[in-house]
């Protein structure tokens, strides 16, 4: 049986929120089978649980925010991406503020945290959402067109294409495909950092955003070039970060997907729309488990890989 996974032990991290600039403590804890991933705002007078789901996403401007009532958690996508990459099904995320710490701007620190806690196999079958009919969302026309789609695939692969019309971005790889079956998430995707342009930063700061952002947790560009003195971590770090984000956004559906995702200039908003469209088309997917490991697609079988 392909089993659900949780953490072996508790692990903690401290950092600042990218947008809020607020100090925040994160405690990742093991959870029972079929709990899913649950954020818990432990700083509120009465702690509030926010289980992840496509419908729990309440805001997608610049980052993915989940919420219930007045309780929110911003910028969940990099932690969710690490969970998708390592196949964590059940976990509590105790958090002391309304934004997940940005750490180094990638998901590498979360991968490290999860791996140091250790991954525990649980006595319950892992439940997948298998896409059986294509589902697509699309916006705009011609030069403004963007789209994202899921098609049936025995495994999980993502392909993404960007088009930022910026010299520093255009000189890097614009398209990347990552297959969980043949690739290595920790090595190939997790280290890609978020990125931003100095021309946007002033505007964002005026609206109280990007207050915690800087050269130690993002790739920052002026109108011509990358300003980080160390340069890029991958030749195609920008588009790889979009894959990292998409894996996090899509994991908010609450179960691993069996599908091929492809997207052109998609982002947090469109990724969430795609999930909602998928769930609304009840004949486009089914829930499956694998009693026999040999039936499971590669990429979900092996123990969690080290770096």
Which are the contacts of 67, defined by CB distance < 8 A and separation ≥ 6? 50, 56, 58, 59, 73
**Nearest approach, Cβ of residue 245 and Zn ion (Å):** 4
Instruction: Check if 268 is active-site.
Output: yes
**Nearest approach, Cβ of residue 104 and Zn ion (Å):** 12
Give 194's DSSP letter: P
**Nearest approach, Cβ of residue 54 and Zn ion (Å):** 18
Q: Which residue has the tokens 């997608």?
A: 60
Q: Which of 19, 74, 78, 268 is catalytic?
A: 268
Size of the site for Zn ion (CB under 5 A): 2
Distance CA 47, CA 116 (A): 27
Q: Which is nearer to Zn ion, 236 or 245 (CB)?
A: 245
Intra-chain end-to-end CA distance of the chain, in Å = 26
Q: Among 161, 144, 140, 136, which residue's Cα sits nearest to residue 264?
A: 161
194 binds Zn ion (CB under 5 A): yes
Which runs of consecutive H residues, i.e. helices, occur in the chain? 77-86, 108-117, 167-170, 185-188, 198-206, 237-251, 268-280
**Nearest approach, Cβ of residue 189 and Zn ion (Å):** 11
Q: Which of 99, 104, 236, 245 binds Zn ion (CB under 5 A)?
A: 245
Q: Which is nearer to Zn ion, 151 or 228 (CB)?
A: 228
Q: Among 202, 152, 15, which residue's Cα sits nearest to residue 96?
A: 15
Task: Give the range of 165-173, 183-191, 245-253, 261-269 binding Zn ion by CB under 5 A.
Answer: 245-253
**Nearest approach, Cβ of residue 65 and Zn ion (Å):** 13
Q: Which is nearer to Zn ion, 94 or 245 (CB)?
A: 245
Task: Give the range of 36-44, 148-156, 174-182, 239-247 binding Zn ion by CB under 5 A.
Answer: 239-247
Task: Give the range of 11-19, 149-157, 163-171, 193-201 binding Zn ion by CB under 5 A.
Answer: 193-201
Give 193's DSSP letter: P
Distance CA 90, CA 110 (A): 15
The DSSP secondary structure of 263-279, one letter per residue, reads: EES--HHHHHHHHHHHH
Residues in the chain: 307
β-pairing, 91-95 with 37-41?
parallel
Task: Give the range of 54-62, 191-199, 208-216, 274-282 binding Zn ion by CB under 5 A.
Answer: 191-199
65 binds Zn ion (CB under 5 A): no
**Nearest approach, Cβ of residue 152 and Zn ion (Å):** 27
Which chain residues interact with Zn ion by CB under 5 A? 194, 245
The residues carrying an active-site annotation are 268
């Amino acid at each position: 049986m392909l089993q659900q996974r949780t953490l072996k032990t508790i692990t903690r991290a401290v950092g600042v929120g990218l947008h809020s600039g607020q100090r925040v403590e994160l405690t990742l804890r093991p959870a029972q089978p079929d709990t899913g991933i649950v954020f818990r705002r432990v700083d509120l007078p009465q702690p509030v649980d926010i289980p992840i789901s496509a419908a729990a996403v309440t805001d997608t401007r610049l980052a993915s925010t989940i919420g219930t009532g007045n309780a929110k958690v911003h910028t969940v996508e990099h932690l969710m991406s690490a969970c998708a990459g390592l196949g964590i099904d059940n976990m509590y995320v105790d958090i002391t503020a309304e934004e997940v710490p940005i750490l180094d701007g990638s998901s590498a620190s979360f991968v490290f945290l999860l791996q140091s806690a250790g991954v525990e196999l649980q006595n319950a079958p892992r439940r997948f959402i298998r896409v059986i009919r294509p589902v697509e969302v699309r916006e705009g026309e011609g030069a403004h067109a963007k789209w994202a789609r899921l098609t049936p695939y025995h495994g999980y692969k993502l392909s993404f294409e960007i088009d930022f019309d910026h010299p520093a971005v255009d000189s890097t790889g614009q398209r990347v495909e990552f297959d969980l079956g043949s690739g290595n998430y920790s090595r190939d995707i997790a280290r890609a950092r978020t990125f931003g342009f100095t021309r946007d930063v002033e505007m964002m700061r005026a609206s109280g955003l990007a207050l915690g952002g800087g050269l130690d947790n993002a790739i920052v560009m002026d109108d011509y070039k990358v300003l980080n003195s160390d340069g890029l971590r991958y030749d195609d770090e920008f588009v790889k970060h979009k894959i990292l984000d998409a894996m996090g956004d899509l994991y908010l559906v609450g179960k691993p997907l069996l599908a091929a995702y492809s997207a052109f200039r998609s982002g947090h908003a469109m990724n969430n729309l795609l999930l909602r469209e998928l769930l609304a088309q009840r004949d486009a997917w089914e829930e499956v488990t694998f009693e026999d490991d040999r039936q499971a697609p590669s990429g979900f079988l092996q123990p969690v890989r080290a770096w």
